[in-house]
Amino acid sequence: MKQIILATGNKHKVIEIKDILKDLPVEIKPMTDFEKYPEVLEDGQTLQDNAIKKATEVAKYFNLWAIADDTGLEVNYLKGAPGVYSSRYAGINCSYNDNNNKLLKALEGIQMENRQAQFRCVIALSDNCGNIKILAEGKIKGYIATDLCGITGFGYDPLFYVPKYEKTFAQLGEEIKNKISHRAIALQNFKEKFLELNNNL
């Protein structure tokens, strides 16, 4: 395989994923580079369901291999919410700000020790016929900050506080975040599996 379609329209994810996978022996091409691409309804019950659905539908549409991810923020106090609904926590077509403000409201008055959370990411690779060839996962534990902090990153990054660095993802900068994040861990796991798979094709 010489080219893999990246099944996302999120420009921030495209930059992050392409950067982490830049040393793979294939071209990672975002589906948005094409004039037409499928709009996949993310209606799965789990992150894995959504990653698989996006990868297989996009792969079959283009008749090319495709990679997709689904990511969720899971807050202990909220019993795992927003989880699979992280990107639309505040409603369909909501902004990052809308989601962050809703999360802050849900945790209003809750002390830091009870604001534990984890970011989790699942990566799926489908062949051109819709068969899943790789599943990889990554996660990182942290806390939800009481205020938005930092200007880099996207999504919940200004709220996700990493104790080891005493900073939020949005304060860390892309270089550090792309080494320690849930997506970085999932993609590193993915890379190992991909190189093994590629050698056997």
Phi, psi of 126 (to 5 degrees): -115, 145
pLDDT tens track for 2-29:
899 999 988 888 988 998 898 899 999 9
Q: Take residue 10 and report the two structure tokens written for it.
A: 């999120």
Q: What is the mean pLDDT of residues 152-166?
A: 95
Tokens 């409603």 identify what position? 91
**Tokens for 142?**
């942290």
Provide the total of helices (H) and of strands (E) in the chain, helices listed first: 6, 8
Active site residue 70: yes
Give pLDDT, residue 1.
63
SS3 of the chain: helix, strand, coil, percent, to 5: 40, 25, 35
- Phi then psi for residue 41, to 5 deg, are -80, 115
Q: How far apart are CA 113 and CA 84, in angstroms?
A: 24
pLDDT (tens digit per residue) in 70-90: 999 999 999 999 999 999 999
pLDDT tens-digit profile of 116-156?
A: 999 999 999 999 999 999 999 999 999 999 999 999 989 99
The model's confidence at residue 198, banded by pLDDT at 50, 70 and 90, is confident
Beta carbons of 44 and 84 less than 8 angstroms apart: yes
Dist. CA 94–CA 99, nearest whole Å: 7
| Record: fold of 3-200 | Maf protein (3.90.950)
Measured CA to CA in angstroms, residue 116 lies from 18, 56, 77, 81, 145 at distances of: 30, 33, 7, 12, 10
CA 109 – CA 106 distance, rounded (Å): 9
Catalytic choice (23, 33, 70, 157): 70
pLDDT the model gives residue 2: 82
Task: Give the pLDDT confidence score for residue 183 in this predicted structure.
Answer: 92
Q: Alpha-carbon distance 58 to 54, whole Å?
A: 6
Q: Given pLDDT bands bounded at 50, 70 and 90, which one contains residue 68?
A: very high
